[in-house]
Amino acid sequence: MEQKVNIPYLKIGMYISNLDRPWIDTPFLLEGFHIETEKDITTLSKYCSFVYIDTNRGIASTNIIEKASSKVQHYLERFLQGGKKKIKYEVKTPTKKEIPKAKTAIESATKSIASIMKNIKEGGDINIGSIEGVVDPILSSVVRNPEAYMWLSMMKGTSDYSYSHSINNCALAIVFGRHLGIPKEELKILAIGLLMMDVGNVLISKEILNKPGRLSDGEYKIMQTHVEHGVDILKKIKGMPGDAITIALTHHERFDGNGYPSRLLGTHIPVYGRIAAIIDCYNAMTSDRAFNSAKSAYSALQDMYNWRGTSFQPELVEQFLQCMGVYPTGTVIEMTNGEVGIVISQNSTRRMRPKIMLLLDENKKHLLEYRTVDLTKEFKDSSGYPLNIRRGLDPGECGIDPTEYYL
């Protein structure tokens, strides 16, 4: 049987059956050989990001990149190069009606994931059904209407960051996957992977996880081991999808090859790993943590855009921006006439012109009556000047807390 293996997980005794590039581009004289020395591994690392091993002719690996769902992998690669969406989802319920259902799903999921993580930390057995029980209600809600979750995401708190981070990763993965046109059954696998990819953190000390300052080099190396711990934990869960394990293994890889644990480069990173990296980073930046305050969604997206081609695949970043909107739902914005409001929903075809709830007048005084403006229908202000969004504001700027205007 053939396994795809990251270079850092190669061991003496494995049989190399194929490379990630033509044999002729390497110094190896034989197309297939046993690893006999550490020098063999060092030489492989100079030319390859991953290789294939034949487990019938040598020892197997415990840390592999599973063969991804080839249909989804190939579909997404084609789509990112300008193809058509496989599935075009429609909004099935109004946002106001969906929000209570989404809220119930998120609250229930947060309690359940806390219990699952506690059980794992104590060495208990976990079945895939309990994990699916967390994912399924969120999946159903987001598929019906993703805007409901986007409103709820503004209400992230500072307690139980690791649990809320996992739930938000899961939900945002569904939001993004829905936008990309991934079929529902594959959305579920993506969501499971994002929910569980940081499970290895249960074996990292609280002192390191919650350290308010910069980690030392030694602490950072310990922190990085959560990837290997997570892969080992997920492999023990019967029925865990291979793609979900791959997400845990690759979500800290970076497009320019400067990630970990394997320093995979570009599209050598499985597409679900590339997606997970974007979601994980965005979610972290927009959350309050022990060592950092939350950025606005608008500022976080600006950073993501600046990191395209280095940390993240440019085509995926562009799709993520389209998914979230230039001014994501819940963003406090200032209009060109000085009025201030909150983005309350996106217009799928014109992301620069969402629907706005105006709260402050041009002098930054509260309006007597809040009013809603759909920028796809209103192009001028009351004075006849062009009406556009001037800029996004940071949380708390102008004294506005978006959660107070939660639908």
Token digits of residue 223: 């922190």
Determine the Cα–Cα distance for residues 309 and 325; give it in Å rounded to an integer.
Answer: 20
Q: Name the residue among 268, 319, 349, 351 with its Cα closest to residue 79.
A: 319
**197 — pLDDT class (breaks 50, 70, 90):** very high
- 84 burial (CB, 10 Å; 0-12 / 13-18 / 19+) is exposed
Rg (CA), the chain: 23
Tens of pLDDT, residue by residue over 148-166, are 898 888 765 444 556 788 9
Q: What is the pLDDT of residue 69?
A: 59
What's the rounded Cα separation, in Å, for the pair 300 and 282?
6
Helix axes 184-196, 271-285, angle to 10 degrees: 60
* CB-based contacts of 15-18 (< 8 A; 24+ apart in sequence): 15/53, 15/54, 15/55, 15/57, 15/58, 16/44, 16/51, 16/52, 16/53, 17/52, 17/53, 17/54, 17/57, 18/51, 18/52
Output the CA–CA distances (angstroms, integers) from residue 129 to 101, 237, 253, 255, in the order listed.
21, 10, 29, 33
Q: How many angstroms separate the CA atoms of 345 and 267, rounded? A: 33
pLDDT at 66 over 60: no
Domains of the chain: 2-64 (no CATH), 71-79+81-324 (1.10.3210.10), 332-405 (no CATH)
d(CA 122, CA 116): 10
310-350 pLDDT, tens digit per residue, is 999 999 999 999 999 888 888 889 999 999 999 888 887 77
Do residues 103 and 71 touch, judged by C-beta distance below 8 A?
no
Tell me the pLDDT tens digit for each residue of 211-260.
888 889 899 999 999 998 999 999 999 999 989 999 999 999 999 999 99
126, 237 Cβ separation under 8 angstroms: yes
pLDDT at 158: 41
pLDDT tens-digit profile of 110-142?
A: 999 999 999 998 988 899 999 999 999 999 999
Residue with tokens 């970076």: 254
Residue 317 token pair? 């970043």
63 band by pLDDT with thresholds 50, 70 and 90 = low
Structure tokens at 164: 């809320």
Q: What distances in angstroms separate CA 136 from CA 120, 131, 216, one per listed residue?
A: 21, 9, 39
